[in-house]
Structure 1
């Protein structure tokens, strides 16, 4: 009897100590307590669709331009310039969207950028000439490119650590599939034979214009669907809004588990060194400090690629720099792509065989560099 009573008291004491330890916790412990469920799956789908919508806006231009050559009377040089405009837009907007994402919020960045990007992408389908279309595509891609900073960071900062890497890798797959999705839409639309004259615009509306309009619709859809989700709790903590972050965590917990938000085991968030409150500096000073802080040797190497390496940005950099890190990596990647496209065209004309040998060498070099990437962090038990 005494042993049983002592065992029960020890068990109750352990439970009390365990519940007390969960009363307060840092943001990672709080995210772990929310679990991984319906909210995270929904956010994974929306962030994936957002990146796919951006990819359709960027890469779908090549399909539209190929079909519009005769209608717009494009020369080879004009065609190349028009196709490259989305890449220029990514480079032009990368640093600005990184700053906005790190200071104003991931969700706000995505909603604003995808909404405005949709407007200009849709207007490009009514462009009377290639110059107007180039300007409209430049503006639309400048806005939709914000997905590089917003989607990855919003998803990664709303998931528990054990599921973060897998979620972001799945999100990356959708971006890789965006060109295939464009082809799925282009296959039935471009062979259509309709021709409509729009007098007040002085344009002939053909299937390629319809394709350009259809490819802009995912931007509007994702902007609307993002209204169903919350701001990144890590971002809120980094801005000193711990109470608001706790409310978001409770709502995520309720959706994932089906329990009442009041049952969330953590009642107070502790702020660690990685989530300190950012200072309110001037725009120029803040942009400079955020950019300079990223130029370490794991970052210059990572900036040569994109996509899968975005997983590392969530782990390697503090919350207030992650949006800028993602954007700068993409900016460098797209700059390389812009230069590479033009270089490959010249090399193929001069020496086709050497071009493919050089490309193979670059791929092998990337494999060698990948061995030196930092090890993944072990998930918390």
Structure 2
């Protein structure tokens, strides 16, 4: 919610902050810039200090910075605060996949990550729901010397889930797999006993395992900063190098089309719904006509007529989009082990590639909207890619590898968001075509993904644990 919520704000704040398309692109990309810039740091801390220990304080701090951003009175102040928020969101956005994966067995890990990712879709339902209730309002009030209008109050609403998640995380234990690797069996056993007690409604004392005889503790040398750098270098050597290249490039493509395009969907839908022409026009034609009208206005007229209103129809369409995402995630959870992770990923991305290009050429608003929704389902493929990747990285590298992969993914989102902001008004058809081509190209890489068993065997021979 922190990374995509600004897509609703930039349209509503257009007049208050004097936002051009370029500024909108910068603001929507700001959180991704923060996520990208600190991913390596959080990956290192996640492998050194623990998954839960890193995520919990960062989630609370990110909510506080997000609230602070609602009081920004200029574009650059807002952008700086959104970058700082992104820096903190980065701590949990990828580490959570390592944490979730380590809480499950190999046979259930992929499904667990897919089901866990399904909760992302609920944010795409609740976010436009809150926006629908708040942004169209005409009210305002003064707080700390600033006039609070609906779009500022809307920012507060998406901070609540992060604080609630932090509260729930306080109840949950540290990853037992991490504890086994970093502190040994004696630290991991009580956590496993507690999880067993929760799952079976019994006492910790009834846990049938009394001693863990396998698993090695990382040496102080390997857990030091120098050791972390040495371990990190393994990502760029066989057999992990191929996995890193394929997963990172693929995640770049996934986020470029899903998050990068999603940031502009409310703005695009707003243009479609406000179009009064009786002719059947494509998305690009509608956008170009809007720009021509704006250029024909005098600067004085623009100041008088500036209305940063969001068409109410944007919100139910966005909620329907979230419902489609939810169904897609649930379907992934059901079929991921039956169809196969690589096959399912490639099928989804090929479909999204075609619908992305088609959305720009279809001369009908409703059909174009439906195609856009299908194109954005590519975001659901990120959970499949995470499930594919998490199997090949050893425990001491897992959080780092996932953070780097999501760092590259968020780079794709920032690049996609900014490119659309810079080209949507002038090279609309080319922009959609490039997005479709990048998405289709990423599926070819999956043909070269190695067998996880072979990668594990080679790394276990070097003393790394899974």
Structure-2-length-normalised TM-score? 0.64
1:291 aligns with 2:232: yes
CA pair 82-341 structure 1, distance change in 2 beyond 3 A: closer
Distance 2:418 2:81 in 1: 22
> 1:364, CA displacement in angstroms?
2.4
1:228 aligns with 2:304: no
Distance 1:287 1:132 in 2: 35
Correspondence for 1:96: 41
Correspondence for 1:61: 6
Distance 1:311 1:174 in 2: 16
User: 1:278 touches 1:320 (CA, 8 Å); kept in 2?
Assistant: no
> Which of the numbers 104, 107, 112 marks the counterpart of 1:162?
107
1:203-240 CA distance string (max 9 Å, x none)? 21011011101111111111111111110001101112
Correspondence for 1:334: 410
1:358 aligns with 2:411: no
| SS class of match (1:339) | helix
Correspondence for 1:44: none
| SS class of match (2:2) | helix
1:13-43 CA distance string (max 9 Å, x none)? xxxxxxxxxxxxxxxxxxxxxxxxxxxxxxx
1:318 aligns with 2:261: no
Distance 2:69 2:77 in 1: 8
1:152 aligns with 2:152: no
User: 1:148 touches 1:326 (CA, 8 Å); kept in 2?
Assistant: no
In the TM superposition, what are the counterparts of 1:205-354 in structure 2 within 5 Å?
205-272=148-215, 276-280=217-221, 284-295=225-236, 296-304=241-249, 305=251, 306-349=382-425, 351-354=427-430
| SS class of match (1:57) | coil
Correspondence for 2:446: 370
1:50-88 CA distance string (max 9 Å, x none)? xxxxxx001001211221121222333333222211110
CA pair 369-139 structure 1, distance change in 2 beyond 3 A: same
1:271-315 CA distance string (max 9 Å, x none)? 34xx54143468652452243221212111101214321113331
Distance 1:344 1:266 in 2: 55
Query: What 5-or-longer segments of structure 2 have no aligned partner?
Result: 252-381, 454-466
1:303-359 CA distance string (max 9 Å, x none)? 121432111333111111111011100111122222233334455555443433333
> 1:183, CA displacement in angstroms?
1.1
Distance 1:342 1:125 in 2: 22
Distance 2:419 2:228 in 1: 32
Which is worse superposed, 329-338 or 218-227? 329-338
Distance 1:210 1:284 in 2: 42
Which is worse superposed, 302-311 or 242-251? 302-311
Structure-1-length-normalised TM-score? 0.77
In the TM superposition, what are the counterparts of 1:21-40 in structure 2 within 5 Å?
none
Correspondence for 2:359: none
Distance 1:264 1:130 in 2: 56
1:80 aligns with 2:25: yes
> 1:120, CA displacement in angstroms?
0.5
| SS class of match (2:71) | coil
Query: What 5-or-longer segments of structure 1 have no aligned partner?
Result: 1-55
CA pair 210-278 structure 1, distance change in 2 beyond 3 A: farther
User: 2:102 touches 2:177 (CA, 8 Å); kept in 1?
Assistant: yes
User: 2:26 touches 2:418 (CA, 8 Å); kept in 1?
Assistant: no
Distance 1:277 1:270 in 2: 16
User: 2:247 touches 2:389 (CA, 8 Å); kept in 1?
Assistant: no
User: 2:193 touches 2:207 (CA, 8 Å); kept in 1?
Assistant: yes
Correspondence for 2:134: 189
| SS class of match (2:212) | strand
User: 2:50 touches 2:175 (CA, 8 Å); kept in 1?
Assistant: yes
RMSD, aligned CA: 2.2
| SS class of match (1:192) | coil
Distance 1:293 1:362 in 2: 28
In the TM superposition, what are the counterparts of 1:115-134 in structure 2 within 5 Å?
115-134=60-79
User: 2:94 touches 2:406 (CA, 8 Å); kept in 1?
Assistant: no
User: 2:22 touches 2:421 (CA, 8 Å); kept in 1?
Assistant: no
CA pair 73-278 structure 1, distance change in 2 beyond 3 A: farther
Distance 1:268 1:185 in 2: 50
| SS class of match (1:270) | coil
Correspondence for 2:295: none
Distance 1:189 1:286 in 2: 50
Distance 1:280 1:263 in 2: 37
- Specify the structure having the higher radius of gyration (Cα): 1
